[in-house]
Amino acid sequence: METETIGSPILWGGFIAFVLAMLAADLGLFNRGAQTVSVRKAAIWSGVCLGCAMAFNGLVWWWFGSERALEFSAGYVIEAALAVDNIFVFVVIFSGFGIPDRYQHRVLFWGVTGALVMRAVFILVGGALLQQFHWMMYVFGGILAVTGIRLMRAGGHASSPAENPVIRLITKFMPVTDRLSGEAFTVVENGRRVATPLLLALVAVEVTDVIFAVDSIPAIFAVTDDPFIVFTSNIFAILGLRSLYFLLADIVTRFVYLKQGLALVLILVGAKMLSMDFYKVPIVWSLGLIITILAGSIVASLFWGTAKRPEVSTAVDGELTSASSARQATTA
């Protein structure tokens, strides 16, 4: 694998400052207070995030050449595709904990902010492991391939959020109320501080991101070993996740073949990582193949997935019913 990296303290500092500015703009300018995010606003903010990512990709091309720019593009496409799969889980989480539309942005804002920090730690640790122990490349590749195979064989339905072991651990050590209190994550009831469903939903979102990071970060290391490219492509995709959720939440279940497409991508990038010492697949081929698979799975879903949609809708309804029942049992 390549060892030369393009990251410098100035680049890292400048990019982190940009991310903080984007978060401040999102919270302070576009989404003040508790409100339902409209499809129009979500589409505008999604366009802003995509435009910023493409502009940054152009800067990478200008400063460091086409190879690095293509690596950024491949990493961004992989992470954005996995983010769409996240949306299905978010739908289950918010429905399971009974979070109204007007409070969902607050949960996602702080959830994604926490995800940015965790992703930075994961990427720095992953990069250090690959630099120090070359054999970790095979571990990452194996994780991706096995995950892809399991996702291909299983339906990949999200489990009930209230049954998550982390949620159950919190409810053992902290009292929980089943009543919302505006945007508050905790409130005082009968002289003691208790967690609201908003806090449980936030924890579930954070746990979900950790699980998805186990797939997405090794997948991006399969296309580049530069921590700066891995970090920036990953973070740009996450920055647009909130608006993407509000844009696609109502139609995400129509993408019935997306999981198969994601599974195939994970298997391919895992195989690419496992064979990297013997044959290095050109980044242009990798990017083209990834885009073709994902686009093909979406097109197939829209045109030939009609027969499967009732089955998928039934599965989602079952998950939501199970989640709601589990939440009531947890807070009882």
- Residues 197-210 pLDDT 10s: 888 888 888 887 77
**Among residues of the chain, what percentage have pLDDT more than 90?**
6
HSE value, Cβ hemisphere, 13 Å, CA-based, for 184: 15
170 vs 232: CA distance, rounded Å: 33
pTM: 0.75
Task: Tell me the C-alpha distance between 49 and 236, whole Å.
Answer: 7
Q: Quote the tokens at residue 239.
A: 């920055």
**For residue 159, what pLDDT is reported?**
53
The per-residue pLDDT for range 6-44, each reduced to its tens digit, is 667 888 888 889 988 888 777 655 555 555 667 777 888
Burial class (CB in 10 A: 0-12, 13-18, 19+), 112: buried
Q: What CA–CA distance (Å, rounded) separates 160 from 86?
A: 14
Indicate the DSSP class of residue 154.
S
187-207 b/e (C-beta count within 10 Å ≥ 16 → b): beeeeeebbbbbbbbbbbbbb
| Number of Cβ atoms within 10 Å of the Cβ of 43 | 14
Rg (CA), the chain: 20
* Residue pair 316/253 in contact by the 8 Å Cβ criterion: yes
First-residue to last-residue Cα distance in the chain = 54
Indicate the pLDDT class of residue 268, thresholds 50, 70 and 90: confident
| pLDDT level of residue 320 (50, 70, 90 thresholds) | very low
| Helix, coil or strand: residue 188 | strand
Question: Which residue type, as a one-letter code, is found at position 63?
Answer: W
Q: What is the pLDDT of residues 130-180, one digit of tens each?
A: 777 777 778 878 877 887 787 777 654 545 555 666 677 777 777 888 888
Provide the b/e sequence for 224-251 (b: ≥16 CB within 10 Å). Answer: bbbbbbbbbbbbbbbbbbbbbbbbbbee
pLDDT of res. 160: 57
pLDDT band at 332 (very low <50, low <70, confident <90, very high): very low
In sequence order, what are the residues at sequence separation of 6 or more whose Cβ sits closer than 8 angstroms to the Cβ of residue 47? Answer: none
pLDDT at position 27 is 66
Q: Which residue has the tokens 């998928």?
A: 312
Closest CA to 91 of 245, 242, 266, 305: 245
CB of 298 closer than 8 Å to CB of 258:
yes
Nearest C-alpha neighbor of 109 from the set 196, 214, 207, 25: 25
Percentage above 70 pLDDT, the chain: 80
